[in-house]
Amino acid sequence: MSEPAAVAIPGPHAGHDAHHEELGFLWKYVFSVDHKVIGIQYAITGLLFLLFGFSLMMLMRWQLAYPGSALPLLGTLLGEGRMPGGAMLPEFYNELGAMHGTIMVFLGVVPLAVGGFGNFVLPLQIGAPDMAFPRLNMASYWFFFIGGVIMLASFFVPGGAAQGGWTSYPPLASLLGTGQTMWLVGMVFLITSSLLGAINFITTTIQLRAKGLTYFRFPFFVWAQFVTSFLLLLAFPPLEAAAVMQLMDRLAGTSFFLPSGLVVSGQVLTAAGGGNPLLWQHLFWFLAHPEVYVLILPAMGIVAEIIANNTRKPLWGYRPMVYSLLFLGFMSFIVWAHHMFMTGMGTAMAAFFQTTTMIISIPSVVILTALIMSLWGGSIRFTTPMLFALGFLPMFGIGGLTGLPLGFNISDIPLHDTYYVIGHFHYVVAPGTIFALFAGVYYWFPKATGRMMNETLGKIHFFGSFVCMNVIFMPMFFMGLAGVSRRLFDGGASYDFAQPVLHLNVVSSWGAWILALFQIPFILNFFWSAWKGAKAGDNPWDATTIEWAAPSPPPHGNFRVAPEAYRGPYEYSVPGAAKDFSPQYERESL
C-alpha cells in the first residue's frame, strides 16, 4: 500500500484541456460526464427532494397536532379525495408517512451525502482529473432522477402513492394500490443508481489517486466514502431482488411473501400460498441497517474535515478512526435482525444480534470521541461550517445513546414502533446527518462556485435549526416512553393512556413549522451567494487537503498541474513551520 496502484494522468492536466472541445449547454450541464457537474446535479436534486419530503412531514404534523381539524388554505387545494372539507383522510396520512420516509432517505440524504459530496469532493481530494467511469457516473444520476420522478408521479395515480410505510412490509404492501407498484419500480431504479455509483467510487479511489497519496494519507472523508461504497455495493442487491419479487407478487401472481390461507375482506386470497412475509423483513433490513451507516459515514467524514480545519490541529486518533470505520462497515452486515425482535425469534438468535448491536456501538463511540478530543487545545474558528459540525456531535451522540435500549429485546419489545424509535433515528439522521450535510455545503460551496456564503445568514440558519430540531424530536422520547405508537393517524388521541402526553404533539408540530422558516435564510444565502457572494480564493479556509490546490471553481480536468501528495492530510500548526497549515500538495520548503 505504499504507492498507488495506478496514476491516470502522469503529466500536467493542462494537456488534458488542450484537446477539450467546447460542449453545448445540454451536454455541459444536463447530460454532463464531468464529476463536478454531476455532483452539483445530485446535490441540488437531493436538496429539492429534502424540501419536498420535509413539506410532507409538515402536513402530517398538522394532523398530529390538531387531528380531524381542517387545514387552512392547503386543505382545500389538496382536493376532496384526500382532504374532504380540509380534514385529512387516514389513507392520505399513510401516503404522507410512507413517502416522507422514502424521500428523505433514498431521494434526499443518500443522494446528497454520496452522490453530491462524493462525486464533487472525492476525485478532487485524491487529485484525480475525474471519476474512473464518467459515462457510468452520468447514468447513475439519471437512474436516480428517473426513480425519483416515478416516486413523485405515484401521487397522481388512482388510489394515490404508496401507503405501506417506507419499509413496504408485506402482506399489506402486496395488496395495496398502484402507488405501491410505482414505489417498487422507483426503488429498482434508485438501487441501480447506487450500485453504479459504488463501483465508480471504489475504482476511482484505488486507481486514480495522485502520486504519493498512500492509503493512510487519505483524508478521513475519502475513507468514509470508500467504506460507504462497499456498503452500497454489498447491501443493495438483496433489496433489489426483494423489490422484484414483491413486484412479481403484485403483478404476476407469485407468492414469495404471501402466506397460505391469507384472508382479505372475508375472502381467501387464492394467489397466496407458501410465501413468508418475514423473508421480506430479512432482505429489507439486511440493506436498511447498512443503509443507516451509508447515511452516517459520509457525515462523519465531512465533520472530520471541518473540525481539523477549524481547530487548526491534526485529527486526534486518525488511524484508530480509520480502523473503526472499517470495523463498523463490516459489523453493519450482522446486526440487521435487531429490527425484528417482535417476530418471535429464538433466544439464541436474539442474543447473537443483541451482542453484535452492542459491539457495533464501539467503533461509533471511538470516532465520536476522537472528534470531540480533536477540539481539545485547538484554536477554534467558529465559522458556519464549524457550528454545524459541532452541532452534529451531541445530536449524533443522543441518537446513538437512545439506540442502545432498542438493541436489547427486553427493552425493545415495549418500545418497538413507538415514538421513542422515531425520536432515536431522527436524532441520528436529522440534527445528526443533515447538520453534517449543511456543514459540507457551507464548507465546499466556495470550491464549487468560487464565492463565499454569507456568515450572518449561515449563523441564523444554524442556531434556529439547532433549537427547532430539539423541540421537534426530544418530546418524542417522552411520548414513546408513555407507550404512544407511531403511525397513528390521530397521534394517539383515541387512546386514554396517551392523553397526558398529547400536548407534546403540538410542541413538536410548532417546532417543525418554525424550523421551515429557518430554512429560508439558507435558501436565500445559497442562491444569492452563488451569483453575488464575496469572491473566494483557491483556498479560503487555509486547508491542507488536495482539493484546495484546484482553482475555485475547478476547470475541466480539475488541476492546472497534476498534484502530488507529500505528507498526511492534516498537517496543521506544525512546530517551526512558517504558517499554521502545510498542504499535502506543497513540497517542503528548504
pLDDT at position 427 is 97
* pLDDT attached to residue 21: 60
Residue pair 551/560 in contact by the 8 Å Cβ criterion: yes
> From the CA atom positions of the chain, what is the Rg in Å?
24
Residue 75's pLDDT is 84
Find residue 161's DSSP bridge partners. 179
Contact between residue 313 and residue 373 where contact means Cβ atoms under 8 Å apart: no
From the list 545, 294, 296, the residue with the least C-alpha distance to 436 is 296
The span from the CA of 573 to the CA of 585, in Å, is: 16
Q: Are 339 and 285 in contact (CB under 8 A)?
A: yes
SS3 letters across 39-102: HHHHHHHHHHHHHHHHHHHHHHHHHHHCCCCCCCCHHHHCCCCCCHHHCCCHHHHHHHHHHHHH
Number of alpha carbons in the 13 Å side-chain half-sphere of residue 67: 13
Among 8, 412, 440, smallest CA distance to 221 is for: 440
Element (H, E) at 179: helix 178-207
Closest CA to 458 of 537, 513, 520, 412: 520
- The answer to whether residues 110 and 298 touch, using CB atoms and an 8 Å cutoff, is no
Class of domain 33-255+282-549: mainly alpha
Domain boundaries, the chain: 33-255+282-549
If we measure between CA atoms, which residue out of 259, 52, 239, 58 comes closest to residue 149?
Answer: 52
| DSSP summary character for residue 22 | P
Residue 272 is predicted with a pLDDT of 65
Q: How far is CA 324 from CA 332, 360, 361, 365, 525, in A?
A: 12, 10, 10, 9, 36
Residues in the chain, total: 590
DSSP secondary structure letters along 409-444:
HHHHHHHTTBHHHHHHHHHHIIIIIIHHHHHHHHHH
How far CA 474 is from CA of 54, 97, 469, 470, 480, in Å, comes to 18, 20, 8, 5, 10
Per-run averaged pLDDT (10 residues), the chain, 590 residues: 42 44 76 95 97 96 94 87 92 96 96 97 96 96 97 94 93 91 97 97 97 96 98 96 95 90 84 86 94 96 98 96 97 95 92 96 96 94 98 96 95 95 96 96 97 97 98 97 94 94 97 97 97 94 96 93 95 90 82
| β-bridge mates for residue 160, sequence order | none
The answer to whether the CB of 250 falls within 8 A of the CB of 243 is: no
Residue that is written with C-alpha cell 470550491 in the block: 447
Q: Please give the backbone phi and psi of residue 254, each rounded to the nearest 5 degrees, phi first.
A: -80, 180
- How far apart, in whole angstroms, are the C-alpha atoms of residue 435 and residue 431? 5
pLDDT of residue 269: 80
Single-letter amino acid, residue 206:
I
- Gap between the Cα atoms of 61 and 100, Å rounded: 12
Q: Which helix (H) or strand (E) holds 547?
A: none
478-to-151, 256, 412, 472, 474 alpha-carbon distances in Å: 33, 39, 15, 12, 8
Closest C-alpha to 272, from 282, 284, 258? 258
pLDDT of residue 554: 95
Q: Do 50 and 108 form a contact (C-beta atoms < 8 A)?
A: yes
* Spatial distance between the Cα atoms of 257 and 174, rounded to a whole number of angstroms: 8
Bridge partners of residue 451, in order along the sequence:
535
pLDDT for the residue numbered 587:
87
Q: What is the pLDDT of residue 15?
A: 40
Separation CA 46–CA 152 (nearest Å)? 14
